[in-house]
Structure 1
Amino acid sequence: MAGNRAVAYMGPGKVEVLDVPYPELVLKDGPGVNPANVGRPVPHGVVVKAVATNICGSDQHMVRGRTTAPEGLLLGHEITGEVVEAGPGVEFVKVGDLVSVPFNIACGRCRNCKERKTGICLNVNPDRPGSAYGYVDMGGWAGGQAEYVLVPYADWNCLVFPDKDQAMEKILDLTMLSDIFPTGFHGCVTAGVGVGSTVYIAGAGPVGLAAAAGAQLLGAAVVIVGDLNAERLERARSFGCETVDVSKGDPKDQIEQILGVPEVDCGVDAVGFEARGHGAGAQQEAPATVLNSLMELTAAGGAIGIPGLYVTGDPGGIDEAAKKGSLSLSLGTGWAKSLSFTTGQCPVMKYNRQLMMAILHDKVHIADAVGATPIPLDQAPQGYADFDQGAPKKYVIDPHGMIAGRSAA
């Protein structure tokens, strides 16, 4: 039996690479595993050898101690890899297939899955709808920042790349299909981005940059990205976006300088609950800032997509309300302007095949847009530390040395 190593959350600010058991076709007990899921058989699952598994901003929230994640939780939900074992109930996915694994775990059988709402599957998490690998309160499925990981309901969940050699040539792009590219794209779709749209994306982290690339793919006329990190804003400009430095004041004023009017057709929140203020308050946490700002600057009748993460439990919240996910939103503004809002996990399977085809046929270069940067598994703790300091990169963990030497622009 092969061994296994994985990245684990060991307390606020602390990440370690541990020796862990090789996956079996049953859900085992461990940190964060829902007791009702322990012993759950997975004959419909496969074991995947991780080729590329990415560090996500959602992981970073846990590592900062801003969730109720338990120590020892195995991290990682952005998984691309090779199938090395298939359970007896797997019919179509084969050993040797190179696959993208959506971060949402979905059964394919429940009402929500049948309605393409795979982010809120009813059968994989005993506590509430929706599940993900290596994430707090998501059922306890082991994370994929590892050498090997169990993927349940494989025939439903795995996106098989049609040409393995071609996929390896584009692996840094294709690894973004497990989460951030569909997530950013979903933010734009739900914001109503289309041909000729003007779009403001709050946040120039990887999801915000992926949203910007998605907006361009959807035909937006002008894509404006706001942040207070100069290096991340420079990366947004590198592929044709306009930018707003929110540390210099209200985004509306800078948007007016770009467009001639202080509003956009579509707004996207790619920041989430650790948002900071604007202008003089840019260094202070103000979790409702982005949402309230988007309501102000999105045109009446428009829509706001919210792929940024919001939680119901935040031990580091700025007040008692924020610790429960309760924010002071100017909902009256949204109501008065007849704005639409879409929140929640992106249903990755709704988009990943189409985005795969766009990548394979060179219609988008998402790895360049987000600064994909491969690192060995042992450097994952340093990758987390650098990402936390605002590095304008998307760290791609390479557990088996299969993508060493590849880089994005």
Structure 2
Amino acid sequence: MSSNKAVVCPEPGVVEVIDTPFPTFELTDGPGVNPANVGRKVPHGVILRTVATNICGSDQHMVRGRTTAPTGLVLGHEITGEVIEVGRDVEFIKVGDIVSVPFNISCGRCRNCKEQKTGICLNVNPDRPGSAYGYVDMGGWVGGQAEYVLVPYADWNLLRFPDRDQALEKIMDLTMLSDILPTGFHGAVTAGVTVGSTVYVAGAGPVGLAAAASAQLLGAAVVIVGDLNEDRLAQARSFGCEGINVAHGDPADQIEQLLGVREVDAGIDAVGFEARGHGHGAGAAEAPATVLNSLMDLTAAGGSLGIPGLYVTGDPGAADEAAQKGSLSLSLGTGWAKSLSFTTGQCPAMKYNRALMMAILHDRIHIAKAVNAQAILLEDAPRGYAEFDAGAATKYVLNPNGYLNR
């Protein structure tokens, strides 16, 4: 086999499907590949035929030109696949296994991996801790929005589904295990959500909806989701959340109308660095610190903020010079005065994915329905990106090899 089609961004605002090399067990030069990784041998890896690979809001930031991602980078870090070839050092993963790939690439050997901090592995990115497939400054590992993809440290990284037929039956749910479900769950866990909690989730995109569904799974009494997009708010309401449109005013005012108080027990930021101001309609100007400062205001003293929303250190499209470097005008004094806790950074997907797999397999959560997952062909990726960028209340799942037709 030598052919492989993949999704790339050749210039800001443009998505294309191209022919790209079939993966091998050695890293080769290409867009975004760290020079120190070129020639790196991967005998511990496997090659997957992609079963499903999803379009993520984090991909959208790169397509919009809001990161320092190089042109031509193969996109995609949400990967589910079938093993078709194993490296010589792979012991437990077998050809034919259906597996979920955590979006964090981790070695399983370093101190951070051994402490379950797989989002900041020390060995897979020569520049800094942490790596991912097809993402800016993440070590240059090729993305998974493709027909075939290489996964390193396979025995460590891959989550094998216990039954092939069952996995394919529930594949639209299980494909969310690579990123958004663990990420949303991490946001809820780090926000301190527990039985009886009142929760506010900023953002009704797929990660926000996953965080809301996760809060319900954890036993929250009330989950409130805020956004500017009425279609996405309707999606949140479809599985039992309250929805508030932040274009209509201060979220705290609207929370008070629902709960009788202006604060919640736990706050989750699922928006990130392209946040817009509140109370100014759908055309509100970008104000990247808006969500974080709002969450500090409306989270009760002693509470916690889970921040799965993406923030970057390089944003050429930011509104001012400080924000271009990731420096935001945070009201840290508010956080200090209220003794709030904050958790940011990549979700360590492996910490949660097996437990969440069991919740899916035993019908404790229906995440595909919650995020309105829809399968489209790989060649339809440009349309999926365009519709998602326009605000579609949909999680697009690419179907490169026909598994989702079965």
Q: Which runs of 5+ in 1 are unaligned?
A: none
The one-letter code sitting in structure 1 at the alignment partner of 2:268 is: V
CA distance in 1, matches of 2:21, 2:12: 24
Per-residue CA shift, 1:27-63, capped at 9, x if unaligned?
A: 1110000000000000000000000000000000000
Deviates further, 117-126 or 272-281: 272-281
The one-letter code sitting in structure 2 at the alignment partner of 1:177 is: L
Residue equivalent to 1:248: 248
1:333 aligns with 2:350: no
Residue equivalent to 1:369: 370
1:289 aligns with 2:290: yes
Whether the 8 Å CA contact 2:176–2:368 is kept in 1: the answer is yes
Residue equivalent to 2:385: 384
Residue equivalent to 2:85: 85
Q: CA deviation at 1:347?
A: 0.1
The one-letter code sitting in structure 1 at the alignment partner of 2:337 is: A
Q: CA deviation at 1:11?
A: 1.0
The one-letter code sitting in structure 2 at the alignment partner of 1:201 is: V
1:56-71 correspondence to structure 2 within 5 Å:
56-71=56-71
Residue equivalent to 1:401: 402
Q: CA deviation at 1:3?
A: 1.0
Residue equivalent to 2:26: 26
Question: TM-score, normalised to structure 1's length?
Answer: 0.98
Q: What's the secondary structure of 2:31's corresponding residue? A: coil
Per-residue CA shift, 1:201-223, capped at 9, x if unaligned?
A: 00000000000000000000000
CA distance in 1, matches of 2:382, 2:47: 24
Q: What's the secondary structure of 1:113's corresponding residue? A: helix
Per-residue CA shift, 1:153-199, capped at 9, x if unaligned?
A: 00000000000100000000000000000000000000000000000
Whether the 8 Å CA contact 2:228–2:281 is kept in 1: the answer is no
1:184 aligns with 2:184: yes
CA distance in 1, matches of 2:33, 2:136: 9
CA distance in 1, matches of 2:301, 2:26: 51
Q: Which runs of 5+ in 2 are unaligned?
A: none
The one-letter code sitting in structure 1 at the alignment partner of 2:97 is: D
Going from structure 1 to structure 2, the CA distance change for 1:335 and 1:281 (only over 3 Å counts) comes to farther
CA distance in 2, matches of 1:117, 1:58: 20
Q: CA deviation at 1:281?
A: 6.1
Q: What's the secondary structure of 1:44's corresponding residue? A: coil
1:239 aligns with 2:239: yes
Residue equivalent to 2:145: 145
The one-letter code sitting in structure 2 at the alignment partner of 1:314 is: D
CA distance in 1, matches of 2:268, 2:280: 23
Q: What's the secondary structure of 2:123's corresponding residue? A: coil
Per-residue CA shift, 1:320-371, capped at 9, x if unaligned?
A: 0000000000000000000000000000000000000000000000000001
The one-letter code sitting in structure 2 at the alignment partner of 1:319 is: D
Question: TM-score, normalised to structure 2's length?
Answer: 0.99
Residue equivalent to 1:300: 301
Residue equivalent to 2:119: 119
CA distance in 2, matches of 1:396, 1:17: 15
Q: CA deviation at 1:247?
A: 0.3
Residue equivalent to 2:96: 96
Q: CA deviation at 1:294?
A: 0.1
Q: What's the secondary structure of 1:53's corresponding residue? A: strand
Q: CA deviation at 1:308?
A: 0.1
The one-letter code sitting in structure 2 at the alignment partner of 1:388 is: D
Q: What's the secondary structure of 1:277's corresponding residue? A: coil
Per-residue CA shift, 1:67-119, capped at 9, x if unaligned?
A: 00111100000000100000000000000000000000000000000000000
Q: What's the secondary structure of 2:244's corresponding residue? A: strand
Per-residue CA shift, 1:139-160, capped at 9, x if unaligned?
A: 0000000000000000000000
Residue equivalent to 2:76: 76
Residue equivalent to 1:309: 310
CA distance in 1, matches of 2:273, 2:187: 16
The one-letter code sitting in structure 2 at the alignment partner of 1:110 is: C
CA distance in 1, matches of 2:20, 2:356: 33
CA distance in 2, matches of 1:146, 1:364: 28
Dislocated runs of 4+, deviation >2 Å: none
The one-letter code sitting in structure 2 at the alignment partner of 1:318 is: A
Residue equivalent to 2:156: 156
CA distance in 2, matches of 1:293, 1:155: 42
Q: What's the secondary structure of 1:50's corresponding residue? A: strand
Residue equivalent to 1:3: 3
Per-residue CA shift, 1:197-252, capped at 9, x if unaligned?
A: 00000000000000000000000000000001000000000000001100001000
Residue equivalent to 1:105: 105
Per-residue CA shift, 1:257-308, capped at 9, x if unaligned?
A: 1100000000000000000000026521000000000000000000000000
CA distance in 1, matches of 2:232, 2:280: 20
CA distance in 2, matches of 1:42, 1:8: 23
Residue equivalent to 2:228: 228
Q: CA deviation at 1:2?
A: 3.5
The one-letter code sitting in structure 2 at the alignment partner of 1:365 is: H
Q: CA deviation at 1:404?
A: 2.8
Residue equivalent to 1:343: 344
CA distance in 2, matches of 1:337, 1:382: 45
Q: CA deviation at 1:120?
A: 0.1
CA distance in 1, matches of 2:60, 2:392: 13
CA distance in 2, matches of 1:281, 1:328: 22
Whether the 8 Å CA contact 2:248–2:281 is kept in 1: the answer is no
CA RMSD in angstroms, aligned pairs only: 0.7
The one-letter code sitting in structure 2 at the alignment partner of 1:101 is: V
CA distance in 2, matches of 1:72, 1:229: 31
Whether the 8 Å CA contact 2:252–2:263 is kept in 1: the answer is yes
Q: What's the secondary structure of 2:313's corresponding residue? A: coil
CA distance in 2, matches of 1:65, 1:10: 11
Q: What's the secondary structure of 1:129's corresponding residue? A: coil
